């Protein structure tokens, strides 16, 4: 699905922030990515959806060398990958339902209203479909962002600190949705520095835990 071999990356041609990373995101698997603040978790996620390209090593996504992808190829790749960004940005003048449906219109696809209603129901936002994004709570915003990330039925879902500003109950509610997505066959990668969240989620799903340490990727021990 995503394969990196000895990948390195530095911003703006500068020194490598991440080096010698070898990673295979296995189809259907739940993955966590952890590491201290500033270690490069967001950067690694951006590499996964080809928002950044490696400066060293080999990387393929869905069988294609990311450096060889045309602009259309990158657009195709992004349709296979749903991203919940750390900073959930919405168009504040559009209701929640329209924000969630936006990737469909960008991709030139018709909106199936029944499927959209089901999706909003799944994330617990049926009552907020016509609400404007600024009126949502933190947990509701994250669930709307998750709905938007999966509206195109991507094979891979990346979530960058999706529970960063949420209390424990809201965090677990969001993780439950990510676990359900994984159980429905999607590959999931969640970046978080919250080890308690990882432990609690691992009680519900078998997960691989990757850790960024000293600028490279390691597989975390079984204690996590
Ligand atoms: N666009 C950029 N240009 C230059 N440096 C950047 C850029 N984005 C991030 N960095 C730097 O790269 C390093 C890693 O940042 P990144 O956001 O990937 O870390 P992180 O592990 O996700 O952090 P956090 O947990 O705080 O979100 C930081 O030192 C950051 O300042």
DSSP code at position 209? E
Name the pLDDT band for 13 (thresholds 50, 70, 90): confident
CB of 46 sitting under 6 A from ligand 1? no
Helix (H, G, I), strand (E, B) or coil at 4: strand
pLDDT tens for residues 163-214? 988 999 999 999 999 999 999 999 999 999 999 999 999 999 999 999 999 9
Does the pLDDT at position 221 exceed 80? no
Torsional class of 28: left (φ above 0), alpha (ψ -120 to 50), beta (otherwise): left
Please state the rounded mean pLDDT for residues 135-153: 96
pLDDT of amino acid 140? 95
ipTM, two decimals: 0.97
How far away, in angstroms, is 122 Cα from ligand 1 center?
Answer: 32
How far away, in angstroms, is 163 Cα from ligand 1 center?
Answer: 18
CB of 40 sitting under 6 A from ligand 1? yes
Best probe residue, ligand 1, of 8, 11, 192 (max atoms within 8 Å of C-beta): 11
CB of 35 sitting under 6 A from ligand 1? yes
Does the pLDDT at position 222 exceed 80? no
pLDDT of amino acid 98? 97
Please state the rounded mean pLDDT for residues 135-143: 95
**Taking a C-beta distance cutoff of 8 angstroms, is the pair 76, 87 a contact?**
no
pLDDT of amino acid 96? 98
∠ at Cα 141 (94, 134), nearest 5°?
A: 50
């Amino acid at each position: 699905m995503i394969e990196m071999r000895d990948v390195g990356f530095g911003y703006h041609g500068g020194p490598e922030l991440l080096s010698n990373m070898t990673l295979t995101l296995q189809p259907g698997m739940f993955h966590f990515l952890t590491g201290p603040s500033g270690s490069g978790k967001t950067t690694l996620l951006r590499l996964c959806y080809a928002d950044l390209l490696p400066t060293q090593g080999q990387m393929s996504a869905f069988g294609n060398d990311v450096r060889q992808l045309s602009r259309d190829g990158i657009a195709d790749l992004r349709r296979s990958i749903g991203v919940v960004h750390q900073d959930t940005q919405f168009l504040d003048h559009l209701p929640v339902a329209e924000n969630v449906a936006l990737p469909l219109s960008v991709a030139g696809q018709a909106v199936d209203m029944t499927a959209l209603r089901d999706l909003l129901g799944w994330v617990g936002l049926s009552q907020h479909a016509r609400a404007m994004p600024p009126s949502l709570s933190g947990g509701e915003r994250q669930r709307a962002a998750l709905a938007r990330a999966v509206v195109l039925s991507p094979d891979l879902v990346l979530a960058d600190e999706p529970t960063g500003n949420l209390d424990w109950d809201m965090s677990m509610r969001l993780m439950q949705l990510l676990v359900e997505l994984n159980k429905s066959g999607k590959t999931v990668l969640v970046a978080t520095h919250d080890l308690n969240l990882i432990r609690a989620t691992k009680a519900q799903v078998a997960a691989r835990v990757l850790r960024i340490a000293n600028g490279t990727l390691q597989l975390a021990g079984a204690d996590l």
